[in-house]
Each structure stands twice: as C-alpha cells, then as structure tokens.
Amino acid sequence: MTYQLVSGYTQFELPLYFQMLFGEHGPYYYLTAVLALFTQVITGHRYAGMGLTVLISLIHIPLNALGLYHNLYRWAATNDIEYSLMNGYGHLFTGHLWYSLYWGIVGGILMLIAYILWPRGRRQRWKPAWSLASGHIKKILAALVITWAAVGSWIIYNTAIVNAYQPPGKEQTAAEIERRFKQYESLPMPVVTHTQLAIELYPDQRYFQAEGEYQLENRTDQPINEIHLLTFINLTLGEVTYPGATLREAHPEWGYYIYDLATPLLPGEQQTLKFITKTNPPRGFQNHVDSDDVYMIYPNDVVGNGTNLYSPFILPFIGYTKMVEHKKAWLRARLDLPPLEDRMRPHDDPTGLAQAMMLTHLGWGTTDITIGTAAEQIPVSTGQLVDRWTDNGRNYARYRSQPSRGKFTIYSGDYAVHRDNSYRVPIEIYYHPQHSDNIELITQHVGQALTFYEDTFGPYPFDQVRVVEFVYYDGMVFSEGGTLGIPEVLVWKSQARGLGEDHIIDWVTYLLAQAWWEDQLIAADVAGSMTLREALSAYASNLYLRSQRTPMQQEQAQKQRMRDFFRSLGKIDFKEPPLTDIYNELPIARHKGGMVLELIEDQIGQDALLKGIRAFLQKYRYQSAPYATVLDLQDAILAQASDVNQQTTIRELFSQVVTYQVGLADALYTPRSDGKFDIRLTLEAQKFKASGLGQQQPMPLNLPVTIRLVDQKNNPIYVFKPRLTQAQTILTFITEQPPAYAEIDPAYRLPSGYLQDNTKHFRLNRTQTPTVESKF
C-alpha cells in the first residue's frame, strides 16, 4: 500500500486485500500448519513428521499423473479461482468456500486428534489416550466428523451429480473429434455469405439463447449432398432447419452433426440454414483445479459483468476443420494420435487456397446481429450500430456489417462510454467505470495510429473504431470490423508511463492494424498464413511506435522486445517453425514476424518494403478465392529487392529460422598529425539456422550490418553499413572527430537470442601506426 501511495494510486480496496490474502490464498497455509503439528504429534519424531508433512502436501503430483483431480482428496485443495477486475470472483467463489469449509473441518479434526494424543508425560498409544479424553472432546470430534461427511456429500452432489465430475477436456475433446471425423475433411462444404443472429444474454443466470441463420453458397465445382455441423465445447445445438435436410448422425458429446440433403446444393446455388444454439443455465458448483484440461470458464460462458462471446464459439461451424488438430508431436503421441503428415496444407494445395484460414466456412459476406442483455448492461458488437432500444426491462442493440469476414464478437457489460469525434471516424471506448485512468491515452493513440495507418497503407474500411473491455478468462484478444476487444488486465489498469505506456500503445495499435490485414484480405488455409495478419500488424504497430519515440527510446524498446521474445522461446516444447510454416503459433508469428520485416526494411529500405506491402494488399484486398498466402507476401517484397543478395536474405528469413550473433571485440583510435583520427574496429559476427529443438547450425554470412561511432556527448559522428562475410572482420578508416565508443547493429534489427552489449569504448593507440582505409 505504501508503494501504491507513493506511485500515486489511492483507490485502496482493503476488503478485497483481506479477502484475497485470508480467504483465497490463506486456507492452504493455515491447514498445512495444522498438518505439520498433527504429524509431529502422531510420529513423535521431528524429521519423520516433517517428511510426512511434505509427502501429504505434494500428494497432488502423483494424483495428477493418475488423472485424479477431485479436490476432496488433494490436501487442502480448494477450487481454482480467479479474481476479475470487472466481475469480481463471480460464481467461482461458491465452490471455493465449500471446499474451504470441508478442509477447515478436516483441520479441526486433526487438531482434536493431536490434542487427544498430545504427550502428557510419558507418550501414550491411541487407545489409552482416547480413553482418557473427556466426553466433551469426543462429542466435538464426532460432530466434526458428521459435519465433514455432510459437507463432503454436498460437494460430491454438486461436482459429480449435478455437474460432471471430470468432463472431457480441451485436448481430449479435440483428439476425439479428429479420430472420429477427420475422414470427412475432403468433403465439399458450402460457405457462409450472410449471418443473421438474434441472441439473448442473461448475465445474472450466466447463459444465452440464440436464433440464427446462415445464407449458404456452394462455391465448389461439385454438388453438395450432405452438410456437417461442428459446435464448440459446452455449446448446445437446438433445432436445425434446412429445406429437405434430415439428420443422419448426431454426436452431441463431440459437437458433430451430419445432415443428408434431399436435393443436392449445386455449384453456385444458395440456400438458408436456420439454427438455435444455447448454453444451459448452470446449477450448483463444479470441481476446478489448475492442473486438469477443463475450462474454468468456458469461452462461450456468459458471466455477470464483462461477457465476451466470439462467434465461432457460439455458432455452428460448417464441416470438419484442421483447427481442432493438435500440432505438437509429443501431445499427439500422448493422446494416441498418428503423426501428422503435414502440420498444415501445403502452400499450393487447391482446397486450402479456396478456404479461409482457420474459419474455413467463412468468406466475404455480411452480418446482422441483434443482442439483448440485462437492463444495467450495454450490448456491443462488430459493425455499424443500427439501433438501440429497451423492451421488457432489457437493453437491445442491432449491428450490421458489410463487407465482413463473417466473424464477430459480442460484448455485454456495465460500461461507461467515452466518445471522441475529433478524428476522421468516431472513436468509442466501452470500459469499466473504475478503469478511467488510461482512456484519454487509448483514445489519443487509436486516433493518431488510424491517421498514420491510412497515410501508410491506405483507407480504413469502417465508419467507427470501438475499443471494448471484457473479463480476462480465456486469454484472447479480438479485432473484427472496427471493434477491438481487449481484456481487463492488458491496458486498462497499466501505469501510463515508461514500459506501461509502451504496453498500452502497443496493444491498441497492434489490434487496430488488423483492420488492414484481417478485415481487408483473407489468408488461405495453408501453412504460414497466420504470419500475414500477425507479422504485418506487428510491423505496422512498430512503425507507429517508432514515429512516437526518440531514437534512443526506440533502441531500448527494441532491445527489450527482442530479449522478451527469445526468453519466451526458452519455454516452448516444440521446434520453432519458420514464418512460411507457422500454423497457430501466434506469438512467433507476431513478434518474430515483426522482427523479420524490420530486418528486411533495414536491408532494402523502408520505402521499398512499404511499396511491396501496399502492392500485396492492393492485389488481395477483398479478393475471393484463391486467397493470399505468405509466399504471396514474400514475392511482393522480393519484387522490391534490388540485388540477388537481398533476395537470398529475404527468402532465408521467411523459409528458415535464422538468428544472428554480432559484437565488437576491439575498438582502437589513433590521433593523426592532420587532426583526424585513424580507426580500427574488430567485428565478430555469426549466422545460425535452427536445426532442431534448441539446436542451431552455422550458416554462411553475407549481410550488411550498421556500425555507428558516437562521441562523448552521445552524438553519432560516423554511420556506415559494411557487408560482413566472415566470423571476424577488421575495419580501418579515418574520421574527422574522436569517437568515444562504437556500436554494431545499434537499432537491434538482427534477431538474436544472445543480446550481448553491442557497444565498445575506444582505446587510444599510442603506437601511431598509420591506417589504411577499408573498402566497404
């Protein structure tokens, strides 16, 4: 609290502090202290008691290995819960309290047993000690045991009868869908050209009901005789209506349904599919642990405040999709899945080129969404707001979008709203009323970045920008149709200075940039397509951030960003893919992709790179199939390269995992009789290619690298870019001014996991050896 006060924060929440300290985290430590006392008494041996305490405290490790996750037999385990800035503990605290009561009673029982067995003089066995215990103590112990059994029975009723004890987890569900339904992958399926939805949200009861319809079109070259529907976990599919369709197979436990069509849907024909989806009002409470594979909050759950519902999680998917397939070899082996021949479709696969990445059933189209929610909440979604109204004590809103990718996110919360009409399009911020500190900063940089992106890449395609706050349970961010969804923990409560300010600006500008790379082109469902959206959005955001920083601020930020990225790579359990082979490795596509584009800019120049990117966007803007691939972006950039060496570097950066290691081994200067200075630099440089998980092999080096000489006042006095081809290079040349230190790759453009100090202070050479200038 003292630190908060010194930092200028005065919104102290003392009840919450005590609740988190003593109610959420405290029970485990209190009970472990009781356990330590109990084991000391029953063993009568200091070290035996300590050892037994440790064994019982770590019982969850073997239980996890055995797939036993119930908190009734995991020492002092309470439900895994998470505090939300918008939604509080919500419904999660109920189960936590019941488990706390259950284990609190266990602690009381252990304390009474320890009291009965406590040595009073000579150590006693159980029976004599029990016989000496007072009747009052025995009655209390019996009452505790009965209460413990009653509470345990109530927990079992809620977690194993009212709710499934161990429902299928994310990994197992996806594996089972692949085993059963991958056989249908190559069947022709229609695409959705229009989505109409009327959805009712009930935040107080935590469920929704939706009625929708798809306009389907057969864009294949053959008749479609059957339609397959796939729904996300926890979603119930109700009545489905399609002219002449009959249900052939239904697998509600896996969310897969097959309908036969009495009349085939011919190429070019359209038809309407109507459906009902819903989630069921929850009852009681569930068992939650952080080590199982079951959602604590399902992505399609409605919550008390700050709901976000992504359309693929609440609407049926048309056909089987590779999106469900596990890509990690070790996980596939653990789940008894066969090795994948291809992580993703090849770049020239005709089926993949005709389908959109991930959401293969969606193409260009329109949406019409009507949302109803509680009276105190505001419904928000993608597209242009058509109308708002109140009916029967509920708030409603209708949104339309055109053209659209067909996907959207629905939000509902008790929002405060900030509006700004001083930019080309209006900006609206929907936020939790207590999170107003950064609203002006967010609005400012959304507006400035919008202008910057339009000047750099072309027109913004929507009539508004919305930024919406929501609860952080599923770890996702959203950007569709001019509406940016950012969870409560990312920008809304960050300190708006230093790295905190960078963090805020980076997120909002990165998501805004997707209006060009996600909303104006479709990436094909082939390898590497994730790179298009992520790398280009990251590069656009970095360009904007550079325009807002001083050169020194940019260099420090780039260094920190690179350091953070390569540290995160140390935590992955799979081989890093190149940009042309990325599937859903989003952090690699975003951060490494952005670094690669910045290095290409360093090699061919910013004007050339932007010309290539704009040409790529112009070619595929609102383009129907065949859709864009990462190779198309590569080719557009290659067209701007001026020589073979640049083209080779670009191809390597896209198709291989390349890193560099550069440094300055020595820096020497010698005063000359004419007042100038002889300079001698010893450079070290290596280039590596990833050859396996954590393995690298050297590659031939042929790359221009920036060298900068700086004087005592930190002013650049000499900047040049020699081409490095050897592990060690000695450069000699003459400068007009005395340098203080030299820098290699001062802007940190070379992706490197070994960020050594790239500076070297000059030594004075007293031998007066004349210098012969290098040619570079």
Each residue of 201-244: pLDDT tens digit? Answer: 999 999 999 999 999 999 999 999 999 999 998 999 999 999 99
Say which CATH number the domain at 221 has.
Answer: 2.60.40.1730
Among the residue ranges 295-309, 337-351, 644-658, the one predicted with the least confidence is 337-351
Q: Are 629 and 353 in contact (CB under 8 A)?
A: yes
pLDDT (0 to 100) of residue 82: 84
Q: Of 268, 231, 227, which Cα lies nearest the Cα of 244?
A: 227
- pLDDT band at 291; cut points 50, 70, 90: confident
pLDDT (0 to 100) of residue 769: 54
What percentage of the chain carries pLDDT values higher than 90? Answer: 72
Range of the domain at 85: 15-162
- pLDDT band at 770; cut points 50, 70, 90: low
Q: Of 166, 302, 307, which Cα lies nearest the Cα of 235?
A: 302
Among the residue ranges 238-242, 288-292, 348-352, 404-408, the one predicted with the least confidence is 288-292
Q: Is the peptide bond before 403 cis (omega within 30 degrees of 0)?
A: yes
Question: What is the CB neighbour count within 10 angstroms for residue 424?
Answer: 14
Instruction: Render pLDDT for 588-643 as a digit per residue (tens, 0 to 9).
Output: 999 999 999 999 999 999 999 999 999 999 999 999 999 999 999 999 999 999 89
- pLDDT band at 507; cut points 50, 70, 90: very high
Residue 454 in domain:
no
Residue 280 in domain:
yes
pTM for this predicted structure = 0.90
Same domain (yes/no): 132, 268: no
pLDDT (0 to 100) of residue 584: 79
Q: Are 418 and 401 in contact (CB under 8 A)?
A: no
Q: Once rounded to an integer, what is the mean pLDDT over residues 253-280?
A: 96
Q: Once rounded to an integer, what is the mean pLDDT over residues 368-396?
A: 97
For the cut 70, the answer to whether the pLDDT of residue 7 exceeds it is no
Q: Of 480, 481, 477, which Cα lies nearest the Cα of 491?
A: 477
Residue 342 in domain:
no
Q: Of 318, 311, 326, which Cα lies nearest the Cα of 230?
A: 318
Residue 451 in domain:
no
Average pLDDT, the chain: 91
For the cut 60, the answer to whether the pLDDT of residue 179 exceeds it is yes
Q: Choose one of 623, 655, 687: the last residue of a domain.
A: 655
Residue 110 in domain:
yes
Residue 456 in domain:
no
For the cut 90, the answer to whether the pLDDT of residue 324 exceeds it is no
- pLDDT band at 9; cut points 50, 70, 90: low
Residue 498 in domain:
no
Same domain (yes/no): 281, 236: yes
Tell which wins on pLDDT, 740 or 321: 740
Instruction: Render pLDDT for 105-120 as a digit per residue (tens, 0 to 9).
Output: 999 999 999 888 887 6
Element (H, E) at 761: strand 759-761
Number of compact structural domains in the chain? 4
Same domain (yes/no): 663, 637: no
Same domain (yes/no): 648, 674: no
Q: Choose one of 635, 655, 675: the last residue of a domain.
A: 655
For the cut 90, the answer to whether the pLDDT of residue 316 exceeds it is yes
Distances (CA, A) of 222 to 207, 279, 321, 648: 40, 36, 20, 42
Measured CA to CA, the distance from residue 148 to residue 620 in angstroms comes to: 66
pLDDT (0 to 100) of residue 125: 66
CA distance between the termini of the chain:
58
Among the residue ranges 285-299, 470-484, 706-720, the one predicted with the least confidence is 285-299
Residue 156 in domain:
yes
Q: Which residues contact 364 (CB under 8 A, 6 or more apart)?
A: 193, 403, 404, 405, 406, 522, 622, 624
| 3-class SS of residue 70 | coil
Same domain (yes/no): 251, 388: yes
pLDDT (0 to 100) of residue 498: 73
Among the residue ranges 130-134, 206-210, 442-446, 484-488, the one predicted with the least confidence is 130-134
Among the residue ranges 18-32, 265-279, 467-481, the one predicted with the least confidence is 18-32
pLDDT (0 to 100) of residue 124: 59
pLDDT (0 to 100) of residue 193: 95
Q: Which parts of 219-265 fold into alpha helices (H)?
A: none
Q: Which residues contact 475 (CB under 8 A, 6 or more apart)?
A: 487
Same domain (yes/no): 665, 624: no
Q: Choose one of 603, 631, 655: the last residue of a domain.
A: 655
Structure tokens at 132: 């000496």
pLDDT (0 to 100) of residue 768: 58
pLDDT (0 to 100) of residue 672: 92
Same domain (yes/no): 231, 269: yes
Instruction: Render pLDDT for 521-561 as a digit per residue (tens, 0 to 9).
Output: 999 999 999 999 999 999 999 999 999 999 989 999 999 99
Same domain (yes/no): 682, 632: no
Q: Once rounded to an integer, what is the mean pLDDT over residues 413-436?
A: 96
Structure tokens at 737: 């001014």
Q: Once rounded to an integer, what is the mean pLDDT over residues 507-517?
A: 96
Same domain (yes/no): 189, 299: yes
Same domain (yes/no): 280, 401: yes
For the cut 70, the answer to whether the pLDDT of residue 386 exceeds it is yes
Same domain (yes/no): 31, 156: yes
Beta-carbon-side half-sphere exposure of residue 258 (alpha carbons within 13 Å): 14
Residue for token pair 């284990």: 103
Q: What angle do CA 197, 460, 440 make, to 5 degrees?
A: 90
Beta-carbon-side half-sphere exposure of residue 394 (alpha carbons within 13 Å): 16
Same domain (yes/no): 250, 373: yes
Measured CA to CA, the distance from residue 86 to residue 757 in angstroms comes to: 43
Positive or negative: CA dihedral 184, 166, 333, 689: positive
pLDDT (0 to 100) of residue 330: 79
- The phi-psi region of residue 206 (left if phi > 0; otherwise alpha if psi is between -120 and 50; otherwise beta) is left
